[in-house]
Structure 1
Amino acid sequence: MANGAHVVILSGGYGLLRAEELIGWYEKKLRLADWPAGLLENALTDEAVRVRAQWVVALASTTTDYARLIRRVPWSRTDAAEALLVTLADAGAGAMVNVPRALGQAFRAFWEHRPDGYPPGLVVERIS
């Protein structure tokens, strides 16, 4: 946690993690079908309630299960004033490299409060 912000990570191998939790090495992307229905949604809302989140900002590739999960979480069950999903408009060729890089850049700009650091093509979707 820095500046009152809490970071959680969606993981294909572990589900939901707090940023400070240690994990082992794995190569498994999130597949919603691998998790009981509602489990990850409840974990996310419970965590938002636990930390009294005022805002939720999620970064994910547009068509992945990560983004699908974030879109279907019932954020109204939390006290968050707003929940946002940040994606990339059109990654084009090289999306496997360009999207994670651009989202990492966006996270850094957000975390460091540097509006000039956002990469082009970001889309911010209100999901609450």
Structure 2
Amino acid sequence: MSNEERILELLFAESGKDDDELSLRSGVKPRQQVNQICRRLEAKGLITRRLGPKGKILNYAVHSWETAAPLNQALQARAKIGLDQIEAGKRGLLQCEPVRTLFLVPCSASKSDGGLPHSTGPRLTDHLSEAVKTRLIQARQAVARRAYLNEELLRPALERYQGHFYQVAREKIREARGRGIHILIISGGYGALLPEEPIGNYEAAFSSNWWPKGLLSDVVQAYAAQHKILSVRAIVAASTTYQKAVASIDWAAAGIDDVVVVSPQVSGGGQ
């Protein structure tokens, strides 16, 4: 086995290591040789190199589970899955290419007040075709009154939602988004949105009867096509409108045949 293969194999097993750690773990010395190898692997698109929290460059295998590791705690909190099942998830349930996987989660009945009159931030509509974008905007306008939507003050969805799932997973989701993980929130007031999307306050769980038939499916398909999504992992409670919404999406039309839905037996959205 070459030194390059040894480094790559180690990163697939334990991603997020700096050059010094890789040198120590792999036995490849001096450390400068590891640095050169990692730069070559990055140039080939096999790994990425990013600045870590302690100021050192960390190496990540492109297809490694560790790219999506911040979602481990979020998944465990939502589905009450034990650590042994999380480990199994690495091999099965969540065995996927993280940066080309779309995670779907529900909104929360519990929300924070406040915000800013004008708030900038990414919006899901920026990732859609003009036709689908227009339909979603029109549908949101039609639902606004029924959902008691108040947009006088705006906050990012990730900060607006205050249910248990978001209290536990907020920072993990934020970290995952920073690493390029795709996450959409199924929302009673907005249909679907990005975690960073500025939203107002509203009082509504997702109801398929309020939204045009097939719209959610078209929105998710458009987003998936834009980002070349290969897999979907949805975390929604069983026997809820959120679970039914996910089930209604025409994944085959989006060219996606790897879909896993985690449905814990709890009520409501993200609570």
* Structure 1 and Structure 2 fold alike (TM over 0.5): yes
User: C-alpha displacement at 1:81, in angstroms?
Assistant: 4.6
What is the root-mean-square deviation in Å for CA atoms of aligned residues?
A: 2.0
- 1:69 counterpart residue number: 245
- 2:202 counterpart residue number: 26
- 1:35 counterpart residue number: 211
- Note the residue ranges of structure 2 that are not aligned, 5 or more in a row: 1-176
Structure 2 CA distance, aligned partners of 1:31 and 1:57? Answer: 21
Quick check: which one's helix share is greater? Answer: 2
Given that residues 231 and 259 in structure 2 are in contact (C-alpha distance below 8 angstroms), is that contact kept between their aligned partners in structure 1?
yes
Given that residues 62 and 87 in structure 1 are in contact (C-alpha distance below 8 angstroms), is that contact kept between their aligned partners in structure 2?
yes
User: C-alpha displacement at 1:48, in angstroms?
Assistant: 1.3
The within-5 A match list for 1:90-105 is 90-91=265-266, 95=267, 100=270
Residues 5-54 of structure 1 deviation map (CA, whole Å, 9 limit, x = unaligned):
11111100001101221111222100000011111111111111111112
Residues 53-76 of structure 1 deviation map (CA, whole Å, 9 limit, x = unaligned):
121111111111111111121111
Given that residues 8 and 17 in structure 1 are in contact (C-alpha distance below 8 angstroms), is that contact kept between their aligned partners in structure 2?
yes
- Note the residue ranges of structure 1 that are not aligned, 5 or more in a row: 102-128
Structure 2 CA distance, aligned partners of 1:7 and 1:80? Answer: 16
Structure 1 CA distance, aligned partners of 2:205 and 2:213? Answer: 17
Structure 1 CA distance, aligned partners of 2:244 and 2:191? Answer: 14
Structure 2 CA distance, aligned partners of 1:49 and 1:67? Answer: 22
Q: Say yes or no: does 1:16 pair with 2:192.
A: yes
Given that residues 52 and 80 in structure 1 are in contact (C-alpha distance below 8 angstroms), is that contact kept between their aligned partners in structure 2?
no
Normalising by structure 2, report the TM-score.
0.33
Normalising by structure 1, report the TM-score.
0.65
Structure 2 CA distance, aligned partners of 1:28 and 1:59? Answer: 19
User: C-alpha displacement at 1:100, in angstroms?
Assistant: 4.3
Given that residues 45 and 75 in structure 1 are in contact (C-alpha distance below 8 angstroms), is that contact kept between their aligned partners in structure 2?
yes
AA matched with 1:59: I
Q: Percent identity?
A: 28
SS in 2 for 1:23: strand
Residues 53-109 of structure 1 deviation map (CA, whole Å, 9 limit, x = unaligned):
121111111111111111121111224351111111x45xxx56xx847xxxxxxxx
Number of aligned residue pairs: give it.
95
- 2:120 counterpart residue number: none
- 2:56 counterpart residue number: none
Structure 2 CA distance, aligned partners of 1:23 and 1:81? Answer: 32
Given that residues 52 and 79 in structure 1 are in contact (C-alpha distance below 8 angstroms), is that contact kept between their aligned partners in structure 2?
no
- 1:4 counterpart residue number: 180
- 1:54 counterpart residue number: 230
SS in 1 for 2:198: coil
AA matched with 2:204: K
SS in 2 for 1:83: strand
